[in-house]
Amino acid sequence: MPKAFPTQIIGYLAATFKKPENLDHATVHSYIGAVAGFLELYDQLPHELIRLSPADYAALITAIGTIRFGTEQFRLTSNPESLRPVGGALRNAWHLIATLKDEATSTGHDLSFITDKVLREMIGLDISAVAADLQSGEWKGATIIAGSCCEALLLYGLQTKEKQKSGAIAAASAGYHLAL
């Protein structure tokens, strides 16, 4: 199944409707096919990218349900009144999806020992990419990125040791050369 990312969905909505405020009843009625296209894109959004607070997640699910119900009722009855709540729901979904990132941070691994927040997030994103590559059978990408994660973790460990005890890297390096 193809994937759609939040920026792609927002780009689609902006190209079609320009801005969320333009989603009145008449526009939704005129662009009902584009609304159906939005639902297709939303269905292709990987669940791991939907990182919202419980209240925002509930609002997004409600908005998507309202859009689905209204468009289905319109399809069955051809009654334009069934589309009345769709514009507001689509506007809410637009705003919520706009807050999502195109990459998911790692939730399966505890990287809290990394004190540098940016580095922790970067390694977490890479670990998530490894998991995604493994799921889709992209072995080479998974292997390369996993190696990069290992390298980053080792470097972080060495730099942390060096901060704790000056000369630790040199001592470890000297021991390595002796072993050769």
What secondary structure, in 3-state letters, does the chain show?
Answer: CCCCCHHHHHHHHHHHHCCHHHCCHHHHHHCHHHHHHHHHHHHCCCHHHCCCCHHHHHHHHHHHHHHHHHHHHHHHHCCHHHHCCHHHHHHHHHHHHCCCCCCCCCCCCCCCCCCCHHHHHHHHHHHHHHHHHHHCCCHHHHHHHHHHHHHHHHHHHHHHHHHHCCCHHHHHHHHHHHHC
Report field, pTM of the whole predicted structure over 0.85: no
pLDDT value for 179: 52
Averaged in consecutive runs of 10 residues, what is the pLDDT profile of the chain (180 residues)?
89 94 92 96 90 93 97 96 96 96 71 88 86 78 92 89 82 63
pLDDT value for 165: 84
pLDDT value for 158: 85
